[in-house]
Structure formats: C-alpha cells, structure tokens
Amino acid sequence: MECVHVISIHTIFMDARARNGAGGNSRRDADMSPPTQTSGVTSDLRISWLGQIKFADALALQEDIVARKREDRAAADEVLLLEHEPVYTIGRTPDKSSLLGAAHLPHPLFAINRGGQATYHGPGQLMGYPIVDLRLCGQDLHRYLRWLEQILIDLLAEFQIAGARRDGLTGVWIGHQRKIASIGVGVRHWITMHGFALNVCGDLAPFAHIVPCGINDVAMTSMERELGRSISVIDVAAVFENLARRRIDDLHVDLAPA
C-alpha cells in the first residue's frame, strides 16, 4: 500500500470557514478532541481528511482500522473522508447485471465486501467511510443505515437542497428519480466499513456505463447540478464533520449495567 497522507479535518474546516468568511473561535483538532459523555456511553469520534487517494489504498486502510478495533473495543470510532480516482465498485452479489458487462468500463472495477450493485466513484464525490463498532450501537445495522442517511439529508438541507429517503431503497434522493448519495456498507465482526458517496460536483457521465445501484429508473445528480453553482468537496466535508460529531451519540446505546 502506498503511503497515505492524513490531514486532520480541522484543517479543511478552517479552510472552509476562511473561504466563507465565518468568524468565531476555531475548534480543536478532531484527532485531539475529548470524548463527550451521554447516558453512560463515551463517544469518541476521530475524523480524517485523506484527499484524493486510490481505492485500493483506502480499502487497505479501512481493513487495518477494522482489525485494530476488533482487538481493542475502546478504540475510537473513525470516519475517513476523501475523494477517489475514477473507479467502479460492485458489492457481494451473484447478480452482476448492473455492470452491463464489465469489458466496456472506462475505469477499473473492484468487487468488494459491501452490499449493493454497481456504482461509480471519482473526483467531485465526497466519500465517507465510517468505521463504527456496532457492538456499542445495539448491533443494529438498519439503525446505522438510517442514521447515516439522516446526516446526509441534514447536510443537504444546510445547502438548501431537499434530500429524502425513498421507500425500500438505501441512499438519499432528490424527488423520486434523482439520486444524490449512495450508501453501501460492509460489516466485519459488527464493525462497519465502506459507507457513502455524495455527489458534490464533477463529471456524472461515468454513471452512464452502468445501471447505478441496479435501479433502472435512476438519474444521478449532484449538489452542483441541483444548486446551479459551483461547490467544493472540502466545504461539504466540513459540514459533514460538524454533523457527524454532533450526532454520533444518537447512534450509541446505553450499555451500562442497570
């Protein structure tokens, strides 16, 4: 694995505040922030910005963190925020029809240990890989997925975009047919990996080479397309960081003895 340069989310948060002219006191570095206490559960969340990295490197980093958390239950939950070089992925399914035959794809394809059909990742997408110990969250994967969807819906609302769920499908939508965020999660020993892809800006054309998420009537959209103006992945990452830190305790359950 190539060396992955990790930058604290604090850096991009401050950059975003500077661009937006926001005042006030800066927050402490996310890697150094103290845990918050609620209902007997200590919530410690480490959030890192990795920049644009190769898919294989991000996958190896996730696997390393999952292995550490499996051995050390006290290890902090983590969120890796990043962009990928262009790549297609598909989950653990025998049905590969959403690839439309892989030979024509213009970018590499990875089959990985998440749920779901084919999707595309590339520059202009905010990728978020929460590595969360669901043993501290009631071992409830569905609750985790709804938590992740709600953070993305609330993030979009910060930019005056009305995101919503769609019955029977995972992800975040604009209206009934325009999909703006995809979610695909893998779980090992009740520790999550993979996560979400939020289309912020950039080229959506690579989605045309597949059936995105295996849904025939889907039209992929982005924050930039919905707003009609340019927007940066870094600005959006800073908003996600703030929401995730505020909402992490909503996910945890009280495991203290009665």
Residue 49: count other Cβ atoms within 10 Å of its Cβ: 25
CA atoms within 13 A on the CB side of 141: 15
Q: What H or E segment, with its residue span, contains residue 84?
A: strand 77-84
User: Residue 25 gets which letter from DSSP?
Assistant: P
What order do you get walking across the sheet with 119-121 strand by strand? 109-111, 87-90, 119-121
What value, to the nearest 5°, has the Cα angle with vertex 62 and ends 59 and 63? 90
> How far is 249 from 92, CA to CA, in rounded Å?
30
- DSSP readout, 153-192? HHHHHHTT---EEETTEEEEEETTTEEEEEEEEEEETTEE
> How far is 126 from 47, CA to CA, in rounded Å?
14
The residue with tokens 């995809």 is 182
Q: Which residue numbers are catalytic?
A: 213
Secondary structure (3-state) at 190 = coil
Residues 6+ apart with CB under 8 A from 76: 35, 44, 45, 46
